[in-house]
Chain A
Amino acid sequence: DQQVKQNSPSLSVQEGRISILNCDYTNSMFDYFLWYKKYPAEGPTFLISISSIKDKNEDGRFTVFLNKSAKHLSLHIVPSQPGDSAVYFCAASRNTGANSKLTFGKGITLSVRP
């Protein structure tokens, strides 16, 4: 049962333009969401997160938007740079006590063309 879905396997954008990566979830108990970035042969690295009490969080070129009613979040990268080319994973967690368990989507491959 796929609780976090990243339905588009890949996205290609021109350098300088906006990249929009989408993520949907089915479990209404999720209350914290994260985006991770992964280069080939490396582990995922944390990028940005958002709590369910917010609808937007911004960090430099990266902004995450959360639409709880639609169970949808998106990551905006603007302007996109060639170094942003990587696999982006959406992850979600719910309150299970002191430690959280992350549920990941299968990732979106972003290619930024120079």
Chain B
Amino acid sequence: DTAVSQTPKYLVTQMGNDKSIKCEQNLGHDTMYWYKQDSKKFLKIMFSYNNKELIINETVPNRFSPKSPDKAHLNLHINSLELGDSAVYFCASSQTGRNQPQHFGDGTRLSIL
């Protein structure tokens, strides 16, 4: 009965490859997010979707493309992976509206060789 689940948990791949991370939530939330936690441990918002529509798009390289097939899923596709993409990526979800607590998945640790 995991609330926000991400797959895979670990992803090791070579520079230049294309990879996807999947996220699903069963909380009935309308809003989903992708965060990146880099080596300095900061959690930074990348994207946010509300009812499948993009509402937050931070300054992220266009190699990163989120896709929301329905409001329970938000996947992240990354093209032409670079060394600097190595990080932990967290998916989160919340009810629509200000100040709604966000519920996080357990993260996907991406390592680029």
Q: Which residues of A contact B (CB under 8 A)?
A: 32, 34, 36, 41-46, 49, 51, 89, 91, 93, 95, 98-107
Query: In whole angstroms, how far apart are the Cα atoms of A43 and B50 in the complex?
Result: 21
Interface members, chain B 9-67 (any A CB < 8 Å): 31, 40-45, 48, 50, 55-56
Query: B interface, how many residues as a size bin?
Result: 20 to 34
Given A99-B97, A101-B48, A101-B56, A42–B106 Cβ distance below 8 Å? Answer: yes
- Interchain CB contact under 8 A, B56 and A99: yes
- Interchain CB contact under 8 A, A32 and B106: no
8 residue pairs from A and B, CB less than 8 Å apart = A42-B107, A43-B4, A43-B104, A43-B106, A98-B98, A99-B50, A101-B56, A102-B43
Query: In whole angstroms, how far apart are the Cα atoms of A95 and B92 in the complex?
Result: 19
Interface members, chain B 85-99 (any A CB < 8 Å): 90, 92, 96-99
Looking across the interface, which residue of chain B has its beta carbon closest to that of A32? B99
- Interchain CB contact under 8 A, B99 and A106: no
